[in-house]
Structure 1
Amino acid sequence: MPTLRALECLIAVLDAGSITEAAAVLHLSQPALSHQLAALEREIGAPVVERLPRGVRATVIGRAVEADARAALAAADRVIGGGRAAARGDGGRLRLACAETMTAGLLAPVLRKWLRHSPSVEISLVEAGSADELARLVESDRADLAIGPRPTRWTGAAEVIGEEDIVVVLPPGHRVADRDHLTFADLRDEPIVHFHPDNGLAVWLDTEAARHGVALAAVMRTRQAATAAQLAAAGLGIALVPVTALAAPLPGVLKRLRPNLSRDLLCLIGIPGDPLVRRFVADVLRRGIPTTAAVNAKLS
């Protein structure tokens, strides 16, 4: 198969009409350029240029391959240009995965910034119901970066975004709405707007409640934490919701748990050295999890 260098030499010679001038343009010696042409002619099995008393010209074979040679060189330029653009953050494709409870509250602001400032970067997003599913997406090379809670097992690169609190959402006028905080004991026998079993929050919250001797009584289930908060605020029950899922205005009452219930949120990174991935991770870390002050403003 001919090398790109040999094709570059052919096109330079055809454009210049002279081996001497083509060699000067490519910063090659004349013997080195002639060697490239000879290798191309051996590969094809026929001469591609004809030596004249003054200069050279393409043979019939040379004219036949000229268009494809130019196309191959243009394609190679696009490869290099696309790679450089991706390294600058001006192009490329970024495959993201995110816990479905966190997409709107945590990831959306970062995505909005990227769509505004790096519109040529193609971004795809897959949502997952559990941290372990997120880890599998990155491990199987279906995502370059995953954002969510800490998975059961992860041996790759990761960056801790921060610690996320879980809060209780009550309907207005609920019997415990005037308390400063709630415990799991306060939730015993209360109707809970819970999460679908496929959502990792369901198992985790059930496990944490069991540690406090409480079984959460699910009155209904949803996959989305934002939906759970809205349903609880509407009077269908009580919801335990991550702060990243809360969006103002919420017509409900928010209370902290005591002891505090929280979880680490991480960026699981498939290719740590990728410049595009590094830039996105940096923006996620810079954005961070809603601050305590921001949460306090929402809490009663």
Structure 2
Amino acid sequence: MVTLRQLQYMLAIVEEGSFTRAAQRLHISQPALSRQLQALERFCGGSLVEREARPLRLTALGQAIQPHVRAAVAEADRIRPAAARAVSGLGSELQLAALDSVSLGLLPPVLRAWHESHPAMEVRLTEHRRAEDLAAALGEGRADIAIGPVLDGWHGARRLIGVAEFVVVLPPGDTAAAHPAGVLPLAELADRAWVRLAPGSTLSAVLDDACAAAGFTPKSAVQTEQSAATPWLAASGLGPALVPAYLLPPHFTGHTVLPDPPVRQPLFAYTSAAPGPVVAGFVEVLVRHARVARGPDPDDPGAVSGR
């Protein structure tokens, strides 16, 4: 039967890249470390580490089980602080992972409402630029709830929060902003250079996909790492930007129009297949207080353009 110690030892070997250094870090002998890894390999049915490689690296089998190993170790590490909090009466802890734009635009009223009803519970929020990182945080046990767009291949539970509408941000007085009915064909901006997030982020991919649907590849005027800066840079006249409407702060000075074709992105709360009462309770608060429209059915492929 596999033990937690064996899983911890496997991770130490991979992180150190050497049996010798891993044994030193764990304060055990190298033969004892090797025996524990061999026992884990017997349980898994094959070699987990390429022993001839320098530094050591995982085999295909080792790579396949690594996310589950990390999740198990992370969950075990949370047992003692959870117990200590319960004994002391200080409450427990909730770990959230969200896209940085969601954190800025949707979570403040949600977290305020949650804190009012759970003042003793600590919330740890990690922010990510890519949806793939949300799935990794959940799968490795670093988050109880992930909040973001569609996660390909997620096999746990999910709850629709709403469907985010994207808008094009332009500076006041821009002639493109005067389009009838407040709807602007994206193709009319094909010659513009855009304000955008750096490549690799989920919101950057939304812009690329929307412009591709309109028949062009967007040029870049400014690239930023901070989603909160994007609408302000666009409002200053550096170029148009495509952002979720929930990201715009109150009293925003830029001009916004809806793109044609429309760009919409369903947002979900992702959890394990059987979330506990605390996680389920937070999801209810999230759905109730997040300021995002219910919007069209996200399962209708014609209604959703964003990822």
Quickly name the TM-score band, shorter chain normalised. Answer: 0.5 to 0.7
Residue 115 of structure 1 and its aligned partner are, at CA, apart by 2.7
1:9-31 Cα distance to aligned partner (Å, 9 max, x none): xxxxxxxxxxxxxxxxxxxxxxx
Q: Residue type matched to 1:156 in 2? A: G
After the TM superposition, which segments of 4 or more aligned residues of structure 1 sit over 4 Å from their partners? 78-81
1:193-225 Cα distance to aligned partner (Å, 9 max, x none): 011113111123212211221111111112333
* Cα distance in 2, alignment partners of residues 83 and 203 from structure 1: 46
2:269 equivalent among 252, 267, 270: 267
2:244 equivalent among 242, 255, 266: 242
Q: Residue type matched to 1:91 in 2? A: G
Q: Residue in 2 aligned with 1:122?
A: 122
Contact 1:132 1:153 in 2 (8 A): no
SS at match of 1:101: helix
Residue 100 of structure 1 and its aligned partner are, at CA, apart by 0.5
* Cα distance in 1, alignment partners of residues 226 and 153 from structure 2: 24
Range that drifts further, 219-228 or 133-142: 219-228
* Cα distance in 1, alignment partners of residues 200 and 87 from structure 2: 38
Instruction: Tell me whether 1:193 sits opposite 2:198 in the alignment.
Output: no
TM-score by length of 2: 0.64
Within 5 Å, give how 1:127-206 maps onto structure 2: 127-179=127-179, 180-206=182-208
* Cα distance in 2, alignment partners of residues 234 and 81 from structure 1: 48
Q: Residue type matched to 1:146 in 2? A: A
1:215-263 Cα distance to aligned partner (Å, 9 max, x none): 1111111233321001111111111001121111111101011221101
Instruction: Tell me whether 1:96 sits opposite 2:83 in the alignment.
Output: no
Residue 138 of structure 1 and its aligned partner are, at CA, apart by 0.3
Q: Unmatched 5+ residue regions in structure 1?
A: 1-77, 294-300
* Cα distance in 2, alignment partners of residues 251 and 268 from structure 1: 34
Residue 84 of structure 1 and its aligned partner are, at CA, apart by 11
Contact 2:162 2:266 in 1 (8 A): yes
Contact 2:162 2:293 in 1 (8 A): no
Identity %: 34
Instruction: Tell me whether 1:207 sits opposite 2:236 in the alignment.
Output: no
* Cα distance in 2, alignment partners of residues 185 and 95 from structure 1: 41
SS at match of 1:177: helix
Greater radius of gyration (CA): 1
1:232 equivalent among 234, 241, 259: 234
Residue 162 of structure 1 and its aligned partner are, at CA, apart by 1.2
TM-score by length of 1: 0.66
* Cα distance in 2, alignment partners of residues 83 and 145 from structure 1: 24
* Cα distance in 2, alignment partners of residues 81 and 292 from structure 1: 37
SS at match of 1:264: strand
Instruction: Tell me whether 1:257 sits opposite 2:259 in the alignment.
Output: yes
Residue 79 of structure 1 and its aligned partner are, at CA, apart by 4.5
Residue 83 of structure 1 and its aligned partner are, at CA, apart by 7.8
Q: Residue in 2 aligned with 1:40?
A: none
* Cα distance in 2, alignment partners of residues 79 and 197 from structure 1: 42
Within 5 Å, give how 1:62-73 maps onto structure 2: none
Q: Indicate the RMSD between aligned Cα atoms, in angstroms.
A: 2.4
Q: Unmatched 5+ residue regions in structure 2?
A: 1-81, 296-307
* Cα distance in 2, alignment partners of residues 83 and 184 from structure 1: 58
The 1:81–1:251 alpha-carbon spacing in structure 2 relative to 1, beyond 3 Å, is: closer
SS at match of 1:134: helix
SS at match of 1:102: helix
Within 5 Å, give how 1:21-40 maps onto structure 2: none
1:58-93 Cα distance to aligned partner (Å, 9 max, x none): xxxxxxxxxxxxxxxxxxxx95982897xxxx7201
Within 5 Å, give how 1:4-15 maps onto structure 2: none
Contact 2:163 2:293 in 1 (8 A): no
